[in-house]
Chain A
Amino acid sequence: MNAATTTPIQSDVLLPERLGDLTGLNEFGLAGELLSTLIGAVIVGSLILTMTAVAGPWAKRKITASFTDRISINQIGPAGIGIIIADAVRMLSKENIIPENADRPAYDLAPIVIVGSALLGFAVIPMGSGIQLADPEVGLAFAFAVAGIASIGLVMAGYASGNKYSLLGGLRAVAQNVAYEIPLVVTGMSVVLFAGSLQMGAIVDAQNTQTLVDLGVVSIPAWYALVNPFAFVLFLIANFAEVGRNPFDMPEAPAELVAGYQTEYSSVYFVLVYLGEFLHIFLGGAIISTIFLGGPAGPGPAALGIVWFTLKIWGVFFLTQWLRSAVPRVRIDQLIEIGWKGLLVLSFANLGLTAAIVGVIA
């Protein structure tokens, strides 16, 4: 690894601070800081939710349609993009049917937990162009931790619905998340060993300040996907299990469990659960982009960071949809077996190997 230094892609100033400077809120002390942070959060949240809105009702249908030789939505607006509004109105105006046997507070809270946990994770993601809400020392650990809360949401949804299919889906979700969270985190740790920090900003910088190969005209940066492709693949697989997508879409398993933990949700609650799923796919994509694909780095000025970052997230999203169209789902026992006997062992091997290599180089 050549230590050719380039300008760090990571801006030192976080979004809330900049907003504070811009609006003059910083002068109001703690209250001002809080307000500017909130404004920042609204901006980041809107960005992510807009992406989900495009993905859920429109892009997903279009992508699946092209895989399956269909045209799909094309009536409202150019390429059917207006379906986003139509669907929003449709879903929100439906009757919210709550089953008699539902365990009320838990049933109502579950969708919020699922969505909330995913949204929280975006707080520490450096999205480029200076969009990052916070960059704590424990950034990566925080992202994993809040994403993990979703499992609780899934169990709540499954258990509180009072439906056997939901229950089975909820149980599967836990078994699956427990089995795959460990390899996910352990593989993530190997990246931390390279970067020497849990801080998201530092991980991004570490990838982009070093060059893997210098070809003269172009230099290939030391993105960890290229430095350690093995860890990248491991992480990708564990991530698909974590977000519950083919070949690991066990918790829903439409043909088997009707719709798993979300069977009983309708109207707004369904929108939330569905939204939560997409948010988790995007959060998974964001973590992958950040720790393996150089975060917002890309050709052109640093101001384009958010564009590159979005493209990378969408790349991961596209991959999930591709797998969904093309790959069968494994059985629940096989899934657990792959998790505990395969990925766990491999991820620890990867961690040990990385530690040794990093130690030797150091």
Chain B
Amino acid sequence: MSTGTEPEVESELTQPASGTDEAELEALLGDRAIAREEHLNAPGFVINPNDVQAVLSDLRNEAGYDHLSCVTAQQYEDRYESIYHLKKFADPTDELSIVVPTTSENPVSQSAEPVFRTADWHEREAYDLIGVEYEGHPDLRRILLPETWQGHPLSKDYDQEKPQLVTLTEHQNPIQPDHRDAESDTMFLNIGPHHPATHGVLHVETVLDGETVADVEPDIGYLHRCEEQMCQSGTYRHQIMPYPDRWDYVSAGLLNEWAYARAIEDLADVEVPEYAQVIRTMGAELCRIASHMLALGTFALDVYGEFTATFMYTFRDREVIQDLLEDLTGQRMMFNYFRVGGVAWDLPEPREEFFAQARDFLNELPAKVAEYHDLITGNEIFQTRCIDTGVLEPDVAKSYGCTGPVVRGSGVDYDLRRDDPYGYYDQLDWDVITRDGCDNYARVLCRMEEVEESAKIIEQCLDLLEEWPEDERDVQANVPRTLKPDADTEIYRAVEGAKGELGIYIRSDGTDKPGRFKIRSPCFSNLQALAEMSEGEYIPDLIASLGSLDIVLGEVDR
């Protein structure tokens, strides 16, 4: 595409993306669109590497594409390519891909960071793993790999076999330098990578002015496990599905699996039986409750201290869900329950017992939620700690690509389950929760209310499953043993994970393995906003804000 002569994609692959007015976009972009491309989820426009900022800001300001969902970079035989996956917060089905090819010899492209703040980290990742350089990026350095890493592991010329030793002298211990500035009276403080409140191995470089946070910079990558590459070397049919469980590993397994299932099913045009969709919906919402319980418990740890009863209470309730999920999937955490085209097996026998257990849980839930409100959100000290701290204005949240309860706590009504329906969600009766507080308190309340909405969904799913005719209980579609989508078919699909928009971009290369597999992690984007939320506030607010973002480092680092 560097030459502008891109191969025409077969028209049968194109699905009309609803709501996208292509003629208007063509008019808006004019000559800057040097070619067209079709992705399964969205129309694509190919632009020149030095038009990125102008095009993206026009699209945001004129056409309303205010959500830079993801930046995917990849290398072809003859070129590098960055894809900006754009959406609208108002209507996420209105998608658009901006494709920016650069030459192999000089992979330099203009940075989108001045237009969308979220591009900061996404482009750093693209640089780190692929090797595309972004001109005008404020801080283009490695983000997941150590500073001294040689080469870009997902580029074509990278030798995967060659071992790399990152020596201690080269890979400087980040704890070592004391960045105390002789001029000022600020103090540099390393929070993490081993710290009780970082929810995993996160390193937050903090500059303090007294107890006030002057500067925050999260340093991630400690838990990078090459998930994208592992998915790229697995076959579509069976070998990829176990990996999503390991992204957000604390309890959101099925939600993650659904992200891959949705992407591959749309890519390979697989129709999932309705019965399986209902089971998926129920399982996913169970995971969401479990995940939100954990978020609430760990947030309480951050605000209360490590002896709080709340943490154990949430774990007690989460345990009930874990038991249900174990009955359903056979596993407590790494479920591997979804299959391409359905789920692994039907509900456990005897079904009545499973239904009874699930209903028991749902019946007890309101009392438990009331207990949490009593114990946590109703507490005045908790309120003084959380209200008006960690403030994230809606516009800032959008610019950082925040999603999930984080953006809904800032009053942005964005939930893919409703706005870009999949599974069985559009046929069930439930509400999207939003809160206008923009603060830590709003995010906590948002999660607690979402638990109740999820319970509503599960209840309806149970009713459906109970009455489903016995001879129509298909749990899997008829999917070929080997999936080989046509070469150069591209798709970006997202689902509403526990933490927000979990998206997957797949480009097929004609084989039974993906040519490029890119994971858009909600935690990755949400964590970026931490600095915005905590600068100028106190250390305890920083810790609380970090807790309210509810990150899982396994998903941030992948």
Contacts and interface: CB of A to CB of B under 8 A. Distances in A.
Q: Do chains A and B stick together as partners?
A: yes
Interface of A: 64, 67-70, 164-165, 168, 172, 246-247, 249, 253-258, 321, 324-334
A331 B316 CA distance: 28
A36 B479 CA distance: 91
Contacts of A257: 539
26 contacts: A67-B309, A68-B307, A68-B312, A69-B309, A69-B312, A69-B316, A164-B187, A168-B208, A168-B539, A246-B305, A247-B381, A249-B305, A253-B305, A253-B540, A255-B197, A255-B302, A255-B305, A255-B306, A324-B305, A325-B308, A326-B309, A328-B382, A329-B304, A330-B384, A331-B385, A333-B538
Nearest to A64: B307
A328 B313 contact: no
Contacts of B305: 246, 249, 253-255, 324, 329
Nearest to B308: A325
Interface in B301-327: 301-309, 311-313, 316
Given A68-B312, A69-B313, A254 B381 contact: no
**Taking each of A69, A172, A328, which has the highest tally of chain B beta carbons within 10 Å of its own beta carbon?**
A328
Nearest to B212: A333
Contact of A70 (B196, B312, B538): B312
B410 to A, nearest CB: 22
Interface string B277-316: 0000000000000000000000011111111110111001
A329 B309 CA distance: 13
Contacts of A69: 309, 312-313, 316
Contacts, number: 88
* Nearest 3 CB-CB pairings of A with B: A68-B312, A255-B197, A325-B309
A246 B541 CA distance: 17
B375 interface: yes
A290 B342 CA distance: 70
Contacts of A256: 197, 539-540, 543
B211 interface: yes
Given A164-B189, A247-B381, A256-B540, A328 B303 contact: yes
Contacts of A165: 189
Contacts of A67: 309
Interface in B189-204: 189, 195-197
A331 B306 contact: no
Nearest to A164: B189
Interface of B: 187, 189, 195-197, 208, 211, 300-309, 311-313, 316, 375, 379, 381-382, 384-385, 538-541, 543
Contact of B196 (A247, A255, A321): A255
Nearest to A325: B309
Counting chain A CB atoms within 10 Å of each CB, the highest count among B300, B305, B309 belongs to B305
B197 to A, nearest CB: 4
Contacts of B306: 254-255
A329 B386 CA distance: 11
Nearest to A257: B539
Given A255-B303, A328-B300, A328-B381, 11 more contacts: A168-B211, A246-B304, A246-B307, A249-B305, A255-B306, A255-B543, A325-B308, A326-B308, A328-B304, A328-B382, A331-B541
Contacts of B543: 255-256
Contacts of B189: 164-165
A272 B407 CA distance: 47
Given A247-B381, A258-B195, A326-B375, A332 B540 contact: yes
Most buried by B among A64, A247, A329, A333: A329
